[in-house]
Amino acid sequence: MLDQDLKDQLAAYLERLQQPIELVASLDDSEAARELDALLDDIAALSPKISRATGDDARKPSFLIRRAGTQVQVGFAGIPLGHEFTSLVLALLQVGGHPVKIDEALAAQVRALPGDYRFETYMSLHCQSCPDTIQALNAMSVLNPRIQHVAIDGSLFQAEVEARQVMSVPTIYLDGAEFDAGRMSIEQILARLDTGAAARAADALNDAAPYDVLVVGGGPAGAAAAIYAARKGIRTGIVTERFGGQVLDTMAIENFPSVEYTEGPKLAASLEAHVRSYGVDVVTAQRAKALQPAAQAGGLVGVELESGATLRARTVILAPGARWRQMNVPGENEYRNKGVAYCPHCDGPLFKGKRVAVIGGGNSGVEAAIDLAGVVAHVTLVEFDGKLRADEVLQRKLRSLPNVDIIVSALSTEVLGDGQKVTALVYRDRSDDSEHRIELEGIFVQIGLLPNTEWLKGTVELSPRGEIIVDERGQTSVPGVFAAGDCTTVPYKQIVIAMGEGSKAALAAFDHLIRSSAPVAEAVARAA
């Protein structure tokens, strides 16, 4: 099952096992079961601390990784290869006694959770968002045996996926009821389970000393800004809902100079490690709510968070990034994750053999249509303009596919469904105003990005498109407040450009600090 190079690498990792573990397999006579059996044999042969056992779980093929003689275990229903191979390796190590590498205060919070929790996560081996969620829940189940978790490959359990109407991954169930959908960290899961966590976190943040530079946003621009600020030896903080931002949802990155190919989550992890290596104060699972400009020249700028906390700093760098732009038509929000999707790489496999539409004729939309055509029964590409805007090489590839239709000059007007899932897309032909209906099961929206700046309206000057207006130094209309990345008016929204703009904003913020007066008495008092 595993080639020799992979076996050698895995064997080296398994030397870190501290306690014996059992691989408890529940198998049937399917081809997938035979593949899983071979995989587990390969793993068991790599360490004397690993043994095989037979189970009888209702889901077949599936297996548990169990610490011998204990209730510590994690489960997989399917064959965790592809993007989930790392999840498998971490599960083996953590169940085997290798420490879960999270902040001890966070680990203590997991251990202290009252009650029992039974989590099920539907995932795809092609999804790059799934591993973070699966690894978070696996780690929690190792820290607290009253938490159980099984990761389910939706492609192998289609009947289950259909019954529960799972149309996006990762989708998490808790005790048989849908808990959430989308990438989640341990902090985000705990915030849902531990009702007092938000208040405790807010109290701690309110007590934090003011920063010299506070960065809002953990994407490429924010990470670069934090690194450049910290290198100046000044007190630097970064607050973000999730580290990595939109990069986490990027499948392949092939235009980053000196790196021929990487994937978004890998780049995000490297950025976070680099930021932390400089001792930056990283605050995650927090969303900014409002900006409070300094009351006087040289005073402190406040960033109010939705948790109720307020962080203060002598300078602030805004880098909240952008999110997928929505169609803003009736039915879109109602059927989000129930047929309306935004990531073809993650959710595409769930639509195998079905009919889908892709909204958008730029490079992203055409690439999505090409990828989906290899999985689904039929793709209809819908473009507002009178022609496609993608590169010609992509258009030629798209037009060569037999199961793709292209509709231009079309305005999507409504998403229809049966209350549980999408059933059709309605569009208006802009050439003659006629209305048309496409019967389908999925709609992938690929129409660009929208800046995350709604919380800044009335405080910072924004463009008509909602972008933060900046000068050549990244300075905004508010003194001491800078901005960088996809949220600004800088043209060409690219990772490498965002990093450069973040670095520039940090240098400009440092220049502002050394040219402004010493910290005001308020700052000195709060830091005392």
Take residue 16 and report the two structure tokens written for it. Answer: 């870190």
At 32-65, the pLDDT tens digits run 999 999 999 999 999 999 999 999 999 999 999 9
| Residue 528 confidence class, pLDDT cut points 50, 70, 90 | very low
Q: Where are the alpha helices (DSSP H) in 357-454?
A: 363-373, 392-399
Closest CA to 474 of 238, 212, 299, 225: 225
What are the φ and ψ backbone dihedral angles of 527, each rounded to 5 degrees? -75, -20
Q: Which domains does the chain show, CATH number per domain?
A: 4-194 (3.40.30.80), 206-323+450-527 (3.50.50.60), 340-447 (3.50.50.60)
| Calpha distance 172→151 (Å, rounded) | 9
Query: What is the per-residue pLDDT for 204?
Result: 87
Mean pLDDT along residues 114-122: 96
Q: Which residues contact 54 (CB under 8 A, 6 or more apart)?
A: 24, 25, 26
Query: What is the per-residue pLDDT for 448?
Result: 86
| Residue 517 confidence class, pLDDT cut points 50, 70, 90 | low
Query: What is the per-residue pLDDT for 520?
Result: 46
| Calpha distance 366→392 (Å, rounded) | 10
Mean pLDDT along residues 172-188: 94
Strands of the 410-417 sheet, one edge to the other: 410-417, 422-429, 435-439
H or E stretch at 350: none
Q: 237: which DSSP letter?
A: E
Q: Which residues contact 506 (CB under 8 A, 6 or more apart)?
A: 213, 215, 224, 225, 226, 227, 228, 229, 232, 317
Residue-averaged pLDDT of the chain: 94
Q: What is the DSSP string of 82-136?
A: GGGHHHHHHHHHHHTTPPP-S-HHHHHHHHT--S-EEEEEEE-TT-SSHHHHHHH
How many percent of the chain have pLDDT more than 90?
A: 84
Cis omega (within 30 of 0) on the bond before 61?
A: yes
H or E stretch at 359: strand 355-359
pTM: 0.82
Q: Which residues contact 328 (CB under 8 A, 6 or more apart)?
A: none
| Calpha distance 522→524 (Å, rounded) | 5
At residue 204, the 3 state secondary structure works out as: helix
At residue 29, the 3 state secondary structure works out as: coil
Q: Which residues contact 478 (CB under 8 A, 6 or more apart)?
A: 291, 293, 301, 459, 460
Q: Quick check: 486 and 463 in contact, CB under 8 A?
A: no
Q: Is the pLDDT of residue 98 over 70?
A: yes
At 126-137, the pLDDT tens digits run 888 899 999 999
At residue 216, the 3 state secondary structure works out as: strand
Q: Is the pLDDT of residue 524 over 60?
A: no
Q: Quick check: 336 and 111 in contact, CB under 8 A?
A: no
Closest CA to 415 of 441, 379, 377, 376: 441
Mean pLDDT along residues 298-319: 96
Q: Which residues contact 520 (CB under 8 A, 6 or more apart)?
A: 296, 298, 299, 300
Q: Quick check: 67 and 95 in contact, CB under 8 A?
A: yes
Q: Which residue has better confidence, 192 or 139?
A: 139
Take residue 454 and report the two structure tokens written for it. Answer: 């709604």
Query: What is the per-residue pLDDT for 250?
Result: 80
At 26-41, the pLDDT tens digits run 999 999 999 999 999 9
Q: What is the DSSP string of 476-488?
A: -SSTTEEE-STTB
How many percent of the chain have pLDDT more than 70?
A: 98
Query: What is the per-residue pLDDT for 255?
Result: 85
Query: What is the per-residue pLDDT for 198?
Result: 74
| Calpha distance 427→359 (Å, rounded) | 11
Q: Quick check: 305 and 239 in contact, CB under 8 A?
A: yes
Take residue 510 and report the two structure tokens written for it. Answer: 């440092």
Q: Which residue has better confidence, 324 or 153?
A: 153
Mean pLDDT along residues 298-310: 95
| Residue 458 CB burial class (10 angstroms; 0-12, 13-18, ≥19) | exposed
Q: Which residues contact 324 (CB under 8 A, 6 or more apart)?
A: 342, 445, 449, 450
Q: Is the pLDDT of residue 257 over 50?
A: yes
| Calpha distance 305→309 (Å, rounded) | 5
Query: What is the per-residue pLDDT for 9?
Result: 94
